[in-house]
């Protein structure tokens, strides 16, 4: 085989044909307007038309979900760790500890369902207070 020759007859032709088909498909697809309102692909990407945007969950709701989860886990004795291993900020962790202390006392005196209701109520209140003025400042652990 000479330098520059394909290892088998027709390989260069096959490669060239494949490249041409691929390039041709890309080129012909670029200018097509297949949106239903006549907006080009760039317009759709820029405006978000044709794709609903996810709704943003308020930070106090996210806080309530994660603090409620960890409060129940800690109360059940299934886990205990530092705030970082739980994915919490330092202030969210403080809410967990406060809620769990109150829930333990509630569980002893009134039972588990009462403790669950307390967790729901107190985590909501704690997280609303934490995010009352927007996102807390004071560093990444706050």
pLDDT in tens, the chain (142 residues): 555 555 545 544 454 544 444 445 444 444 444 445 554 444 444 555 555 667 788 999 999 999 999 999 999 987 767 889 999 999 999 999 999 999 999 999 999 999 999 999 999 999 999 999 877 655 544 4
pLDDT of residue 134: 78
H or E stretch covering 114: helix 112-130
pLDDT of residue 55: 76
Is the model's pTM score more than 0.95? no
Q: Could you tell me if 74 and 100 are in contact, meaning their C-beta atoms sit under 8 angstroms apart?
A: yes
pLDDT of residue 54: 73
For the chain, the helix, strand and coil percentages under 3-state DSSP, each to the nearest 5: 65, 0, 35
What does residue 76 show for φ and ψ, rounded to 5 degrees?
-75, -10
- Report the alpha-carbon distance of residue 101 to residue 94 in Å, rounded: 11
């Amino acid at each position: 085989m000479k330098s520059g020759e394909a290892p088998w007859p027709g390989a260069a032709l096959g490669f060239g044909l494949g490249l041409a088909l691929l390039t041709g498909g890309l080129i012909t697809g670029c200018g097509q307007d297949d949106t239903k309102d006549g907006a080009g692909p760039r317009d759709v990407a820029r405006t978000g038309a044709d794709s609903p945007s996810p709704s943003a969950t308020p930070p106090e709701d996210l806080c309530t979900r994660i603090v409620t989860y960890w409060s129940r886990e800690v109360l059940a004795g299934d886990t205990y760790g530092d705030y970082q291993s739980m994915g919490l900020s330092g202030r969210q962790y403080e809410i967990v500890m406060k809620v769990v202390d109150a829930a333990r006392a509630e569980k002893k005196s009134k039972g588990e369902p009462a403790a669950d209701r307390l967790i729901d109520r107190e985590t909501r209140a704690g997280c609303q207070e934490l995010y009352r003025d927007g996102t807390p400042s004071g560093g990444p652990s706050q």
